[in-house]
Structure 1
């Protein structure tokens, strides 16, 4: 590693005084219209629906139905001459975040990609961040069809991602729900990305019960017209941070993410509607289809956490095995002492994780296959 990780003892100070100003200096913010990509995937674009932020001061009413993104130009970043930054331009990374997350949460990871010569294009998935909403309650996430997530991400990568890659490699970095979406993109758009990292991907969610039972329950609730209702036992975001539920993570990082969430109402998604659960389980079944796994041509590395309570590990194993059986290049890396968000772990875990990602992206394609 040619650059220094952020000092956890001075984390908030370094993020606020160094990282965030540098990111702001090279960031292009915009709204992506997913209509064409959705039509090409056989989906009817959704009409603008409920949006709890439609009257906000940032003019979000003018972006009905569109998806918010942050794109970071490594050429502009290089002009800042940050210590440890490479002079090489290595292409672009498309970033796909997890359930109830938002693109800006990944500011530290984006910083490291920029230091290593990659532009970064990060999309707020539908129902998340500043993107189009379909629910009055800003804490609740709903989606009508998992294929919409897939079409949106693919369309974003084909346009903004390729533009920022500028003829150089285009890679994918995705986490949790974003990893399940990313896996489906790799199956349906096999020549879109040069490399892909799936970090604790939601190949199958952990629902708190056997997933066959969760599938039956969610299908039943949706059939009864409860698809937009909150899943039992979940609540609105209330601003509470329980560090006791993150015994292995970097508490400095957890506090930073939480403060960012508290400061922005758009970042306070927190619970699932029954339709989201139904679609996540349908996504899982589709991603694990043997023929779909065999269609993957993009070399991929899947990182698995030993203390993951949000997604299931065994389906990740099956996914990698099926990609390999179909002739694809897939590697599984298990990090025993990590929670679900490996990028939130202490530097002792984060450093080797980053090293492996960057080495994988830098390998010639022939060595990854």
Structure 2
């Protein structure tokens, strides 16, 4: 885990490793330093979209920042979940900006049932991000802009990279949803075939035929997101204290839209001209690893290091994983972004 003593990261990756704080100290740090950091340095606000949605956002611009970073969250996430990452990156002199997607976090839901993850048009996500960049990011800093996106955020990031090819200097995709793992019986694509059918008959029903509200009683051993019990419990406690952050499973419409975007990924890859670093979780169950590898191949010279960076044993959320995975992921990310 990276802390304020790591100001000299650009000079030495070894400095990061030497200054790592044990995961066991996180709970105490959350109630002291990280909480103070968020209270004193992080700014929050609401952005009104053309269709009337008031989307929540947060950002921090540290003293003497080196560059700015747009952090695009995954499905079910909120900027508040990224307290530790905001803290770590700001300590590295990175200005961080993040928008809660419509339908999740502190942003308004798309349906009356607040637990349904729903979208009618996936391009709304990238449209909101472009507005956020223009109205918030660019008004707060003129620094070079990089991109860090996780899971569903990876699919949104790819759209942005094709829509505005010169906007970002570099992009990092962690466990990106190049294609969802929609496995039902035998293949990752099975759920997509069903989504295409049920999107017509019941678009706002939970995908998978059963109700999937936020899992209040899910045990750590049952989760597919992280092998860090500490970070998992911090996340669960946050969502318990702020139930408005809770989100359940996706609807058929959301899944249908995600699958439609997945079909366009080969064409998107050929349009991307930005250097892209792709990080892959070895114990992945939420998205398709094979689709990530194919996408990297299609990116050609724009896929950093010529291949997806694989983290054996890591679960879906690399930036909320145990220290051995998270530290390595952050080292790779910052080394890539600090290249001139």
Normalising by structure 1, what TM-score? 0.82
- Please name the residue that 2:239 is paired with: 261
Larger CA deviation: 23-32 vs 309-318: 23-32
Larger CA deviation: 206-215 vs 345-354: 206-215
CA contact (8 A) 1:100 1:128 kept: yes
- Please name the residue that 2:5 is paired with: none
Answering whether residue 264 of structure 2 is matched by residue 286 of structure 1, we say yes
* Structure 2: stretches of 5+ with no match in the other structure: 1-12
User: In the aligned structure 2, how far is the partner of 1:273 from the partner of 1:140?
Assistant: 6
- Please name the residue that 2:48 is paired with: 33
CA contact (8 A) 2:66 2:94 kept: yes
2:200 aligned to which of 199, 210, 223: 223
Residues 181-212 of structure 1, C-alpha deviation per residue, up to 9 Å, x if partnerless? 11111122111111111000000001123354
CA contact (8 A) 2:182 2:190 kept: no
Secondary structure (helix, strand or coil) at the match of 2:302 reads coil
2:121 aligned to which of 132, 145, 148: 145
Give the alignment of 1:190-229 within 5 angstroms: 190-209=165-184, 210-224=187-201, 226-229=202-205
1:185 aligned to which of 136, 152, 160: 160
User: In the aligned structure 2, how far is the partner of 1:287 from the partner of 1:360?
Assistant: 23
Answering whether residue 111 of structure 2 is matched by residue 135 of structure 1, we say yes
- Please name the residue that 1:272 is paired with: 250
- Please name the residue that 1:244 is paired with: 221
Residues 98-129 of structure 1, C-alpha deviation per residue, up to 9 Å, x if partnerless? 11111111111111110000111111001001
Q: CA deviation at 1:279?
A: 0.5
Answering whether residue 77 of structure 2 is matched by residue 101 of structure 1, we say yes
CA contact (8 A) 2:183 2:189 kept: no
1:310 aligned to which of 283, 286, 291: 286
CA contact (8 A) 1:92 1:168 kept: yes
Answering whether residue 10 of structure 2 is matched by residue 8 of structure 1, we say no
Give the alignment of 1:354-369 within 5 angstroms: 354-364=330-340
User: In the aligned structure 1, how far is the partner of 2:215 from the partner of 2:150?
Assistant: 24
Secondary structure (helix, strand or coil) at the match of 1:70 reads strand
* Structure 1: stretches of 5+ with no match in the other structure: 36-44, 46-63, 76-87, 365-369
Q: CA deviation at 1:272?
A: 0.8
Q: CA deviation at 1:354?
A: 0.8
- Please name the residue that 1:120 is paired with: 96
Answering whether residue 32 of structure 2 is matched by residue 17 of structure 1, we say yes
Secondary structure (helix, strand or coil) at the match of 2:44 reads strand
User: In the aligned structure 1, how far is the partner of 2:271 from the partner of 2:303?
Assistant: 11
1:176 aligned to which of 139, 151, 165: 151
Distance 1:12 1:241, change over 3 A: farther
Q: CA deviation at 1:147?
A: 0.8
CA contact (8 A) 1:296 1:328 kept: yes
CA contact (8 A) 2:278 2:303 kept: no
Q: CA RMSD in A?
A: 1.8
User: In the aligned structure 2, how far is the partner of 1:300 from the partner of 1:362?
Assistant: 13
CA contact (8 A) 1:188 1:295 kept: no
User: In the aligned structure 2, how far is the partner of 1:93 from the partner of 1:230?
Assistant: 34
Secondary structure (helix, strand or coil) at the match of 2:274 reads coil
Secondary structure (helix, strand or coil) at the match of 1:134 reads coil
User: In the aligned structure 2, how far is the partner of 1:162 from the partner of 1:266?
Assistant: 29
Normalising by structure 2, what TM-score? 0.89
